[in-house]
Structure 1
Amino acid sequence: MLLLRFLIIISLSCSSAVSSVINRNNPLTKRDSPSPDDPAFIDTILEIVNPIRKDHAARNLSWDSTLASFALQKSNGCRLDHAGPYGENIYWSWFDPPTFEPDFAEEARFAFEVWTSQEEVEAYQSGDLQGGSHFTQTVWKATTKIGCAFSTERCVDHPDQEWWFYCTFYPRGNLVGAYAGNVTVRT
């Protein structure tokens, strides 16, 4: 079975940045993906993100159901936009053949690997960051809560293939002028 993975990642580079999007009406249908209230899903996310944060001297995040509900709403919206009061990391993939059902724990792990691969040691060591990334949001010290969700509905562009994964963070990171105190070199 041939499995192709395609992803797009977007990050909020500062607190006021918002991508423009085309508003569209999507006929959506339900499908299986983990509920953001499922204890096993919550544990998986926290087991992925907290060791990453520990490596950068940031406290463990706690799960927040309000953030998870927001992430679910955003993932089912099938849009690459950053609009709202939270920090957001977005991951999008599709598979061929379209009947492939992903291992959601592995997809979440892969999303965090992609996000944290954006780490730029020289940039944050010198304090010369020119904008945020998924990495900096993930390890932002002032952030204390997270909520994540996979889309539960199909999007019109790729109705059999598309999976969206959003994680929302509070308080949001990637604030211009605050990197030095919030992003620490790997310990």
Structure 2
Amino acid sequence: MGGHDRARAEAGVPPLTWDSRLAASARTYAEEMARTGRFAHADQPHGPMREGENLWTGTRGAYRYDEMIGHWIAERRDFVNGVTPAFSRTGKWQDVSHYTQIVWRNTTRVGCAMTSNKRDDFLVCRYSPSGNVVGERTL
């Protein structure tokens, strides 16, 4: 939570609350990715039940948790507070979408989980309400 809360404080938004339901959802999906080796966002319904999602994978044991989260937060360098999806200096929303989900002003809850297979670590964080809503600003 520390990395999330620091990034949010720097952006001027309140800290997130840990949500055990989101953490359980994140764990289930992290385990699926580790089992299948498929690194991709989960299929989710659109609408108010949709959970925001940040994913990370890397060589097993090579990265600390704060480094994993740090990769997402480092996207801040390309962030501009435009209307979604026009919120990246590069013109590619994907270049900042992990960071924007972390600091999304309307997101209030988070749950994360990490699991591994023989080769890789898989980190999943789930957020509610979901961020990166088209037509809205991050902050």
TM over 0.5: yes
Could you state the TM-score of these two structures normalised by the residue count of structure 2?
A: 0.77
Contact 1:68 1:147 (8 Å CA) reproduced: yes
Over the matched positions of the two proteins, sequence identity in percent amounts to: 25
Measure the CA separation in 1 of the matches of 2:70 and 2:59: 17
Question: Aligned partners of 1:57 and 1:131: how far apart in 2?
Answer: 21
Partner in structure 2 of residue 118 of structure 1: 75
Give the number of the structure whose alpha-carbon radius of gyration is greater.
1
Aligned residues: 120
Please tell me whether residue 139 in structure 1 is matched to residue 103 in structure 2. yes
Give, in whole Å, the separation in 1 of the partners of 2:75 and 2:42. Answer: 18
**Which runs of structure 2 are paired with 1:56-135 in the superposition (5 Å)?**
56-78=11-33, 79=38, 80-84=40-44, 85-95=50-60, 102=61, 107-119=64-76, 120-121=78-79, 123-124=80-81, 126-127=82-83, 128-129=86-87, 131=93, 133-135=97-99
TM value normalised by structure 1: 0.59
Q: Moved runs in structure 1, 4+ residues, more than 4 A?
A: none
- Do the aligned partners of 2:51 and 2:130 also contact (CA within 8 Å) in 1? yes
Counterpart code for 1:90: L
Query: Which runs of 5 or more residues in structure 2 are unaligned?
Result: 45-49
Note the C-alpha offset of 1:48: 2.1
More helix by share: 2
**Secondary structure, counterpart of 1:178 in structure 2:** coil
Distance 1:107 1:163 in 2: 10
1:114 to partner: Cα distance = 0.5
CA contact (8 A) 2:29 2:42 kept: no
Rounded Cα–Cα distance in structure 1 between residues aligned with 2:127 and 2:43: 13
Counterparts of 1:82 and 1:117 in 2: how far apart (Å)?
23
Q: State the 1:51 CA deviation.
A: 1.2
State how far apart, in whole Å, the 1-side matches of 2:52 and 2:114 are.
17
- Structure 1's unaligned 5+ residue stretches are 1-45, 96-101, 155-159
RMSD: 1.9
